Amino acid sequence: MDKPGPAHPGRRFPVRLTGLLVSVILLAVVLVLSIGFGARFLSIGEVWAGLTDPASPYYRIVHEMRLPRTLLGLMVGMALGLAGAIMQALTRNPLADPGLLGINAGASAGVASAAVFLGIGSFYGYIWFALLGAAVVTALVYTVGGGRSATPARLALAGAALNATLYSYVSATLLSDSQAIEKVKFWTAGSLASADFATVTRLLPFFAAGLLVALAAARPLNALSLGDDAARALGARPAVIRTAVIVAVTLLCGGATAACGPIVFVGLLVPHMVRPFTGPDLRWLLPYTAVLAPVLLLGSDVLGRILGSPGELQVGTVTAVLGGPLFLYLVRAAR
């Protein structure tokens, strides 16, 4: 085993591959747990029967409630984790997170406007407004934060400013309409509870597009981390890469937020936890993040269902309470 040097070169190839396999197994376990936990606990055998056998008494529970929820958590977790990872690479900022940077709040503002002014109450209507809000805020936070010369503190502050402004806008619009408050209150806390197959299938194209762009950006982003000039010398086009990353972040965060509300810290935490293992190479970092981010999100969701029973704690609350202290630790450790 080689020792990680100062720049986190990561582990050797076989170790990384084994780690990825272990992560995939972990993800499989969490997926089964997420289907199994609920008002009625299902054992592994019952989960399997519920998935495959239409005659099983659990077929409907699994297919109509828990499977869509689990699939949604899988997609949203991947989306937030990848968005966080490529944002961190693009801004060279270890504290970048779609929640902290206000991108999720931008999507929320879009959704709140849609719910109040246009009376839209379904995911299919939300998503365009969420994407629009996310796109505007991504561009804004990047510009206000200083673009290419952005520092972590500047970006975080620009994000905090936009967050505060957007949340006061969201509550102002919601206040005028108490029915809208009811419609979106679970949504504003960040929850997977309202998942159904329609949501999953409608999120899928946005998610898939964002995923492909993000994964395709891994190599060029690696080049960009050497600086613009070096990247150009290696044949990369910095402007194109930046645009592609912003498009991917918008698709991933806008879609995830439209589907289940603003969720913080997933995009921050997971890339951070895997970086010591993979090193800064995005070709490893992104797959690891894509596998482990849903583990965190679904794990938080299952935890919320256990802790909050007979009701449930919203997954956004669980990730905030779990991820917050880690963020504080990272801030303290950074020097």
Partner 1 sequence: MTTLTLEKTVGSRVGVRPRAVVVGVVAALLAAAIAVLTLGTGEFPIPPADVVKTLFGQGTAAQDFIVNELRLPRVITAILVGMALAAGGAVFQSLVRNPLGSPDVLGITNGASTAALTVVILGGSSTQLSLAAVAGGLGAAVLIQLVGGKHGLHGYRFILVGIGMSAIFTGISGYLLTRGVQMENARALLWLTGSLDGRDWQQAGPLLGVLVLTLPILLLACGPGLRILEMGDDSAAALGVPVKALRTTALFTATLLVACAAAAAGPVAFVALIAPHLAKKITRAPGPNLVPALAMGALLLVGADWIAQHTPRVLPVGVVTGAIGGAYLVWLLTMERRAGRI
Q: Is 59 in the site for partner 1 (CB under 8 A)?
A: no
Q: Is 148 in the site for partner 1 (CB under 8 A)?
A: no
- Interface with partner 1 (CB under 8 A), residue from 144, 209, 215, 273: 144
Residue 3 or 332 having the CB closest to partner 1: 332
Q: Is 93 in the site for partner 1 (CB under 8 A)?
A: no
Contact by Cβ (8 Å): 232, 45: no
Residue 190 or 210 having the CB closest to partner 1: 190
Q: Is 176 in the site for partner 1 (CB under 8 A)?
A: yes
Q: Is 310 in the site for partner 1 (CB under 8 A)?
A: no
Residue window 184-223: x/- pattern of binding to partner 1, with contact defined by CB under 8 A:
-xx-xxxx--------------------------------
| Nearest-approach distance from CB 204 to partner 1, in angstroms | 26
Residue 63 or 154 having the CB closest to partner 1: 154
- Interface with partner 1 (CB under 8 A), residue from 154, 219, 232, 237: 154
Phi, psi (rounded to 5 degrees) for 146:
110, 10
How far, in Å, CA of 35 to CA of 46, rounded?
Answer: 10
Judged by CB under 8 A, the chain residues 264 through 293 that form the site for partner 1 are 264-265
Contact by Cβ (8 Å): 253, 134: yes
Contact by Cβ (8 Å): 298, 69: no
Residue 49 or 111 having the CB closest to partner 1: 111
How far, in Å, CA of 152 to CA of 94, rounded?
Answer: 7
CA torsion sign for 256, 257, 261, 267 is: positive
How far, in Å, CA of 315 to CA of 323, rounded?
Answer: 12
Q: Is 91 in the site for partner 1 (CB under 8 A)?
A: no
For the chain, the residue count is 335
Residue 262 or 287 having the CB closest to partner 1: 262
- Interface with partner 1 (CB under 8 A), residue from 24, 26, 136, 157: 157
CA torsion, ordered 226, 333, 15, 1, to nearest 10 deg = 100
| Nearest-approach distance from CB 321 to partner 1, in angstroms | 6
Residue 156 or 236 having the CB closest to partner 1: 156
| Nearest-approach distance from CB 100 to partner 1, in angstroms | 6
Name the percent of the chain in helix, strand, coil, to the closest 5. Answer: 75, 0, 25
Residue 118 or 172 having the CB closest to partner 1: 172
How far, in Å, CA of 92 to CA of 276, rounded?
Answer: 16
| Nearest-approach distance from CB 295 to partner 1, in angstroms | 19
Phi, psi (rounded to 5 degrees) for 193:
-65, -30
Q: Is 158 in the site for partner 1 (CB under 8 A)?
A: yes
CA-nearest of 276, 218, 270 to 27 is: 270
Q: Is 112 in the site for partner 1 (CB under 8 A)?
A: no
Residue 82 or 318 having the CB closest to partner 1: 318
Number of residues that bind partner 1 (CB under 8 A): 54
Tell me the H-state helices in 194-312. 197-216, 218-224, 228-233, 238-260, 266-278, 282-307
Pick left, alpha or beta for residue 309 (phi over 0 → left; psi -120 to 50 → alpha; otherwise beta): beta
How far, in Å, CA of 122 to CA of 67, rounded?
Answer: 20
Applying CB under 8 A, the residues found at the interface with partner 1 are: 95, 99-100, 144-146, 151-154, 156-162, 164-169, 171-172, 174-176, 178, 181-182, 185-186, 188-191, 264-265, 313-314, 316-317, 319-321, 323-325, 327-328, 331-332, 334
